[in-house]
Homo-oligomer: A and B are copies of this chain.
Amino acid sequence: MARSCNFDRQEKLILAMELFWQKGFAETSISDLVGHLGINRFSLYNSFGDKQKLYRECLSFYLDNYSFGASDTLLHEKAGLVEIEAYLARFVALQREQKYGCFMQNAVLEKSLDDESVLQECQRLFCRLQTSFTQVLQDCQARGELLVNVQPHQVAAFLVLQLQGIRVLGKAGEYELLDNAFAVLQGYLGTLNTKV
């Protein structure tokens, strides 16, 4: 056989993702990547194909490993309105830490128009988010915790929209606006609860 690769591919993929996440596709040059990843130019091409392919792979990795990270609260069986509210609260708080915003959202705004596959990947996340929220809300309703006239899939869509809005205001550093908006959102979620 032959010589084996002397770096960890996934480790380098994560480094590339970080760079694209921070700087976007266009503003990240191959030279930037070479420097940040610490591997040779050709090795980068050999391992990941061209810039587009690497970007797409980074996006996929982000979607599978970073995007819905705070969702443990939502996925356990007995999750309800309280958990949704806690999830959103943590998501709002997260904006003060993640200065670079959301890689997926950055990708939608920068590249969805000229790269169909990027758009599809992002839509896949929206679908996944809506499905998760819908599931939790349906369970709530089954347990009698959620008003019967509420449509789970509609509220789920509404929550997905909230996440996107929060991300934008977070990237813009509009933390006070965020806190005020979240107070209203909290109030709304309260009105859905049968127990109050």
A interface, CB within 8 angstroms of B: 22, 24, 26-27, 99-101, 105-106, 108-110, 112-113, 119, 122-123, 126, 130, 151, 153-158, 160-169, 171-174, 176-178, 180-181, 183-185, 188, 191
Most buried by B among A163, A167, A173: A173
Min CB distance A127 to B, Å, is: 9
Verify A172–B100 contact, CB threshold 8 A.
no
- Nearest chain B CB to A182's CB is how many angstroms away? 8
Which of B163, B172, B173, B177 is in CB contact (< 8 Å) with A130? B177
Residues of B near A167 (CB, < 8 A) are 168
Tell me how far the C-beta of A181 lies from the nearest C-beta in chain B, rounded to whole angstroms. Answer: 4
On whether the beta carbons of B126 and A153 are closer than 8 Å, the reply is no
Asked whether, in the complex, the Cβ of B101 is within 8 Å of the Cβ of A172, the reply is no
Task: Determine if B160 and A109 form an interchain contact, defined as CB atoms under 8 angstroms apart.
Answer: no
- Is B157's CB under 8 angstroms from A181's CB? yes
- Copies of this chain, complex-wide, total 2
**Do A171 and B24 contact each other (CB < 8 Å), given the known contacts A180-B157, A184-B155, A185-B158?**
no
Q: Which residues of chain B are within 8 angstroms of A160 by Cβ–Cβ distance?
A: 169, 177, 181
Beta-carbon contact of A168 and B164 below 8 Å? yes
* Measured CA separation A112–B169 after assembly (Å): 12
Chain B nearest Cβ from A84, distance in angstroms = 13
- Find out whether the CB atom of A166 lies under 8 angstroms from the CB atom of B174: no
CA distance A117 to B164 in the complex (A): 24
A105, B101: Cα distance in complex, Å = 12
- Residues of chain B lying within 8 A (CB to CB) of residue A126: 169, 172, 174, 177
User: Is the Cβ of A113 less than 8 Å from the Cβ of B130?
Assistant: no
Residues of B within 8 A of A110 (CB): 24, 109-110
In the assembled complex, the CB of A180 is this many whole angstroms from the nearest CB of chain B, namely 4
Instruction: Assess whether B153 is in contact with A180, with CB atoms less than 8 Å apart.
Output: yes
